[in-house]
Amino acid sequence: MTLKLYTRHGCGLCEEAEEMLAEMLSEIELIDVDKDPAAVRLYGLRVPVLTRGDDVLLEGRFTDIAVAAAICR
């Protein structure tokens, strides 16, 4: 199942999370919450948010340890 990272333009935490995930994973789907009304309702104030299916794996500030643990679940 594809991992999705919900982000928004100009979000420093989102940029950090995206860079970290790019180093650790080969495939991840990036979703700009501001371009998807449903995503705004779900994650608008919580970005960055990493999901797999309907499960939220991480949100806010990511660490490499937390990312590694989340993607191995």
pTM reported for the whole predicted model: 0.91
Neighbouring residues of 56: CB distance < 8 A, sequence distance ≥ 6 = 49, 50
Q: Where are the domains of the chain?
A: 3-71
The Cα–Cα gap between 73 and 71 comes to: 6
Return per-residue pLDDT of the chain as tens, 73 residues.
789 999 999 999 999 999 999 988 888 999 999 999 999 999 999 999 999 999 999 999 999 999 999 888 7
List C-alpha distances in Å: 68 to 5, 15, 41: 15, 18, 27
What angle is formed at CA 35 by the lines to CA 54 and CA 65, rounded to 5 degrees? 45
Q: The domain 3-71 belongs to what CATH superfamily?
A: Glutaredoxin (3.40.30.10)
